[in-house]
Every structure is written in C-alpha cells, then in structure tokens.
Structure 1
Amino acid sequence: MGKGDRRTKRGKIWRGTYGVSRPRKNKQKQNTSEKKAE
C-alpha cells in the first residue's frame, strides 16, 4: 500500500483519480434553500 496502490486514498491523490476511498467533495450549501422556501 502506497502511492502506486489504486485502492488507497494516497494512491488516488497521486494518480489524480477518484473512487470509494477518495470521493469528490460536494460544493453544495445545505439548508439555505429550505429556509428561503418557507
């Protein structure tokens, strides 16, 4: 396990890929639309 391992988070960062161990961060603000709708 290390930089070359595709299954580890460090390996994903090194390769520049995403997956289960390194999910993409969601840039969504929550609870803002719910308050405005009321």
Structure 2
Amino acid sequence: MGKGDKKTKRGKINRGTFGIRRPRIKKKPTIEQKLNIGNKAVPK
C-alpha cells in the first residue's frame, strides 16, 4: 500500500484522480449568491 495503490488516499493523490477515498471538495456558495437566491425577477 502506498503511492502505487489505486485504492488508497495517497495513491489517488499521486495519480491526481478522485474517488470514494478522496472526494472532490465542493465550493461553498458565496454571500452574494446566498442573498440572490430568493430575488428572482417576477413578470408583471
């Protein structure tokens, strides 16, 4: 187990891939996006 192992976190970092052991970090919504969620244009 180590850098060459596909199933370990260290192996995923070495290969530059993602999976169950190393999920992608999702971007958090910014404050501006949070404020604009309910402010959609309403047709008259």
- Shared fold (TM-score greater than 0.5)? yes
- Match of 2:20, SS state, is coil
Q: CA deviation at 1:28?
A: 2.0
Larger RCO (CA under 8 A, 6+ residues apart): 1
Residues 1-38 of structure 1: pairs in structure 2 closer than 5 A: 1-29=1-29, 33=34, 36=35, 37=38
Count of residues paired in the alignment:
34
Q: Which has the larger radius of gyration?
A: 2
Task: Please give the alpha-carbon distance, in whole angstroms, between the structure 1 residues aligned to 2:5 and 2:29.
Answer: 33
The structure carrying a bigger helix percent of its residues is 1
**RMSD of aligned C-alpha atoms?**
1.6
TM-score when normalising by structure 2: 0.64
- Match of 1:11, SS state, is helix
TM-score when normalising by structure 1: 0.73
